Structures are given as structure tokens and as C-alpha cells.
Amino acid sequence: MKFLRNLLASILGSIIGFSLMLLLSILMLIGIGMAFSSDEAIEVKDNSILVLKLNKPFVDNAAENPFESYDIPIFDNYNSYGLYNLTKKLEEAANDAKIKGLYIDASFGLMAPYATATELRKVLEKFKESGKFIYTYMEFGEQKAYYLTSVSDSIILNPQGSLYLSGLISERVYYKRALDKAGVDIQIMKGRDNIYKSAVEPYYRDHQSKSDKIQTMKYLSDIWSVITQSISKSRNITVSQINQCADNKTTFLSTRDAVKYNLVDNLKYKDEVLADLKELSGIEKDGSLNTMSISDYTASNDGEDLKEYHKEKIAVIFAQGAIVDKTGERQEINPDKISRLLRKVRTNDNVKAVVFRVNSPGGSAYGSEQIWREVELTKQVKPIIISMGDYAASGGYYISCAATKIIADDNTITGSIGIYTFIPNAKKLVQDKIGVTFDFVSTNKNGEPLNVVNPLTPFQKNMLQTKINQGYDLFISRVAEGRKMSIEDVHDVAKGRVWSGKEAVKIGLVDKIGTLQDAINVAKEEAGVDKFELSVFPKKKDPFTELLNTSSKEIQISFMRTILGEETFKVWNQMNNIKNLNGTYLMLPYQETIH
């Protein structure tokens, strides 16, 4: 019977695997066919308007999706905007005589944290300096998208639409009551005085602690201050007026009030918007608009080779996601891969400086230490500049602190200098509810197994707490050495506390506020080079090679996201990840949604 069961399972697995490979092969042939079906590149016509639809997530450096127009969940991870590439395209468009302006369709909201929104907003401000227009249309204006597009020359709202402006809200999900019902207790160990290290609070509390509320309100206020001041400057509205609108929840006001308070310029339907775009681009009323998506845009150089070759290079290395010891996932940081990249650019004499773009909430303490070591060694040979993205917290800060200089956005979430570990105790679930018991024999004292079916012994608790304290002391010593601060000064701003980039400059954790491009400029100055080429890592693979490298875990996650929906998926994914936690962690205090 067991043989038959295993045989059937093998046959079923083979059928599923074969079907998946057949599907991927068919899609690859479709993609190759599409690639060869066009004999020439997309032409950039005179009086063209770039179109940016905010309908995809933004990441630092995105892989290309050859099946973007197909609604296939497997490829959702590819369907995103890369902030780096988008910035380059807008810089090219600003100098392209054929491009008259930029049209932003902000009816989909903005799928990016506020730091990315801030960096992209600065790119749009620079685009405006070319004298070209930015025209935004909204049907249902979400707050983050409004913040981004408030830099526009014109913001148009649909007469039957709405504008959402309510200030910042931070949400948490707490699992204690669910774990209590299941019979699982979470045993926590933190670094000394890590009162702000609230990553594990959802597992042993059913509401926010006072210290967590304090730190959250502080950095939310910092971020909101940047948002309101930016909107105030662009829209010529006072900060107090913006807060008054937010207090009154403008989503419940009429669209005419949005015009009245100067939040938007006018109320128009889509056909009227298209008429405006024709006028702005110099097209006759009965003519056709020349529009091009930002994804398709490549500047036309009229046959001239505008790219100069320079032997001297500045390397840009992207590190996105949680730091995981063993991973092949695209949105996670593999310490071995990042370490190899750092060694590669460190030993390349043509690379004069390194920009290390960190966008990470942290993760494995061991993995963070391995990357820290490579950053420290690189600094001894050539300048290495950190560019912080949305998050560079806990382990994300650990791998940054040894750098020559640290650049962050105003709204970067950073700090969280602390450490923790936790071990579930599922004795009530396994022994009392299911009825499975365990016993052991040991040749030595204190030989009780460290597992999830028995509570920690006093010896085990003391052993783990000692290890955690040593890890925290190592963390703050790394920061003190890298930032040239005393241990005491680091401890005062550490304790697991989260800071905005704006505040991190004031307390010495960050050198200056700036974008990725600003970090590249700093690297240029530190290296003393004038003309150089950028070398970006990891190198992008052919999209079909990327497709074949899609792991079964990525396919599973994509399907679960589609089936459950984004909000339910977040809860499922966080609970699902508990079983993969191992060792000590330098992690952002929580997974949250700021909106």
C-alpha cells in the first residue's frame, strides 16, 4: 500500500511538473514570437507625451516582464516599475526635444512606501525644470498618489471622483489571541533595554505597547511633516489648511471643495483631459495624440552614439528585501550573493567607488554580519556610499553602518538598532490537545532538547539571553566604530528604536538627506573622478532566463496573493514565515502598512 501511495504521488508530481514546464515553454515561444514580430523599435514621434500609469508596484531595480500584457499570476513579481530605470528614462525625456510633457494617470493609487514616493517626487521636480509640463488625472485620488503628483503643473479630478486626504495611519496585526486558542506560547529574548524592539509584540500582546506608540507617532509625524510641507510648497496652501482638510477627511467632501481648497485645479471628464493634452502638445483638436508609455520609452538619438566609453567606473549594487541566510527569491537578500558582488567590485581596479543601495527591514543576524564584513573591507580599499531606500533598519542598518558615507531619504525608515530571538512553546497544542508526548535521555547535565514542544528551562533562558546581549553589544559596537560615536551615545539612540531619515541625520546615524543619484554624486566626489560609467549589479538576465529561474516558492506565493487578496495575503504570509525563523534576528520592529 505504501509503495502504491508513493508511486501515485510520484506520478502526480511528474504530471504537475511536466504541465508547468509545458506552460512555461508555450509562454516563452509566445514571447519570442512577439519579440520577432516587430521589425523596428517603437518610434518616438514629434510632440509626444509620456504616459505614466501608477498601476504597478515600485521597486528599486525591477526585472523586465516579457508577459506584462498577460494576466498570469506567476509573473506578478516581474510586473513592476524599477525606480532606477524610471529615473533614467525621465532624465532622458527631459532632454528629448520630441517629448512635450508627462501625463500621469493616478487613478490607481500608488503602490510604494513613502520614501519611494519622496524620491520619485524629486525626480518629477527635476523633470519640470526642463520646462516640460506634468499633467495628472485622478478618478479616486489616494493620499500617497496625491503627495507624489502634487508637484504637477495641473491636477485634474473627475467630477464624480474623490480625493482621500486623512493624515498618516499605521496599522498592526496581532496574533496573540489566535496563538492562545491554538495552545502556542511565544518565548521572547531581546537585547538589553531594547524597549522599542517590538517586532515580536504581535505574538505576545493583543495591542500596541506604550513605547511602540511613542516611536511610531514620532516617525509618522516626521513623515507627515515632509508630506505637508511639500504639498504646501507645490499647491500654495498652508500646512494648517492641509491638516484641516485631513482632519475633516476630505474624501467625504464634494469634489468642488477639492477645487475650492486648491487641492486640485479643475474637475473634468476623461474626454476633456484628452482635449487638454492635445492643446498642451500642440495637436489640432481633430488630430491624434502621440502618447507613449514610460515602459516603452527609449530616447531617440537620431543615429548619434551618445554613450561615451570611460574606463573608470562607479558600481551600484542593489540589495532589496529581508536578509535571509539561504534564499533564491528575487525580493530577498542572499548574504552570499551580496558578499560576492562586493568582493568583485572591491578587487576591480577600474571600479573607483561603490554605491550600495539598501532597501531592507533587516533579517538574519548572522547574514548581516557577513555583509557588514565585506562593506568594511571595501571601505578600506575605496569609497562605499550607502543609499537608503524605503527601509534600512535593524539588519538593514547593520550592513550600512561601516560605509564611508550614508545617504537616506527624508522618509526612510531606519535605525531599529536592536536584536531579538523567540522560540514558540507548543506544548499545550502538541501534548494537551493533540496528545503527542516526548521524552529524552542525556549523558550530560542541562541536556534537555531545545525544541518547540517544551518550555525553556532556566538554564536555556539564561544561555539564550546571554547570547542575545552579546549580539546587541556587537551591533552597537559596529555602529560606534562605523559612525565614530561612543558606545553610550549609540545605545542612547538604539534600544531597537525606529527613526525617520530626517531624524537619523540629527542623531548621527545618517550623513545627509538625498536620493540614489545624490549618493552617486557623493561617490564621484569621494573617488575624485570626473567622467565615469555606472556598472549596475546584480546584472539583469534575459527575461526568459529569469522566467526559467522562477522558483516553486515564488509561484506558490504569487497564486496565494491572487487567491487571498493583498490584505489577507499579508496575514497569511507573516504567519507562514514563522516556521522559517531560525537563530537571532536584526529586524524592523514590525510589518506595517502606513497609509
- pLDDT greater at residue 65 or residue 147: 147
- Give the residue-averaged pLDDT of 177-197: 91
Q: Residues of the chain with pLDDT > 90: what percent?
A: 59
* Percentage of residues in the chain having pLDDT higher than 70: 78
| Interval 84-110 mean pLDDT | 94
Contact yes or no for 510/406 (Cβ under 8 A): yes
- Could you check whether 48-169+217-293 and 313-422+449-542+586-594 share the same CATH topology? yes
> Cell for 338?
551580496
Q: How confident is the model at residue 61 (pLDDT cuts 50, 70, 90)?
A: confident
Over residues 115-165, the pLDDT tens digits come to 999 999 999 999 999 999 999 999 988 999 999 999 999 999 999 999 988
- Domain ranges in the chain are 48-169+217-293, 313-422+449-542+586-594
Banded model confidence at residue 448, pLDDT cuts 50, 70, 90: confident
Instruction: Let me know the angle formed at the C-alpha of 417 by 412 and 421, rounded to the nearest 5 degrees.
Output: 120
Kindly indicate the confidence band of residue 433, based on its pLDDT and cuts at 50, 70 and 90: confident
Could you tell me if 373 and 346 are in contact, meaning their C-beta atoms sit under 8 angstroms apart? no
- Model pLDDT, residue 533: 93
Query: Could you tell me the pTM of the whole model?
Result: 0.84
pLDDT score, position 437: 86
Average pLDDT over every residue of 28-53: 68
Place of cell 507548543: 426
What pLDDT sits at residue 432? 85
Which band of pLDDT confidence, cut at 50, 70 and 90, is reported for residue 539?
Answer: confident
Q: What is the mean pLDDT of residues 252-280?
A: 91
Question: 67 vs 288, which has greater pLDDT?
Answer: 288
Q: How far is CA 184 from CA 264, 429, 433, in A?
A: 52, 6, 11
487: CB partners within 8 A, 6+ apart: 476, 477, 480
| Higher per-residue pLDDT: 574 or 239 | 239
Query: What's the CATH number of domain 313-422+449-542+586-594, 1.10.3720.10, 3.40.50.2000, 3.20.20.140, 3.90.226.10?
Result: 3.90.226.10
Residue 226 above 50 pLDDT?
yes
Contact 452, 426 (CB under 8 A): yes
pLDDT of residue 287: 87
Identify which has the larger pLDDT, 4 or 112: 112
Sign of CA dihedral 116, 118, 123, 127: positive
Comparing 70 with 510, the larger pLDDT belongs to 510
Cell of 203: 505574538
Q: Which residue has the higher pLDDT, 395 or 27?
A: 395
Fold exhibited by the domain 48-169+217-293: 2-enoyl-CoA Hydratase; Chain A, domain 1 (3.90.226)
Q: What is the mean pLDDT of the chain?
A: 84
